[in-house]
Amino acid sequence: MSEQMAIIQGVGVGLRDTNHSVLWWSAHTGNAGSALHVFDWATAADIIKDYGVREVHELNGKPCWVEVEGGTMVYKRPCIVDGEKP
């Protein structure tokens, strides 16, 4: 397992195929590729608070930490750059 920084792109909110409200995005790393991440609404609320954004599309372009193992990429937490809120 390795922890890598990724960039969030393609943020969306909706039902997708879950019949529940979800937050989703693709996380892109330089060498591990990209992966779709889908979060339930409770987790989404925590992520929104952690990044301190007012609107989910403000997550586009934000860095995050992901864990990569084999062909799997898992979101771990925000990557807060010095001087950046929150």
Domain locations in the chain?
A: 2-78
pLDDT beyond 70 at 80: yes
Q: What is the pLDDT of residues 51-66, one digit of tens each?
A: 999 999 999 999 999 9
Whole-number average pLDDT of the chain: 91
Q: Residue 58 and residue 55: Cα distance in Å, rounded? A: 6
Residue 20 has pLDDT above 70, yes or no: yes
Which pTM value belongs to this model?
A: 0.88
- Express each pLDDT in 4-18 by its tens digit: 999 999 999 999 888
In CATH, the number for domain 2-78 is 2.40.50
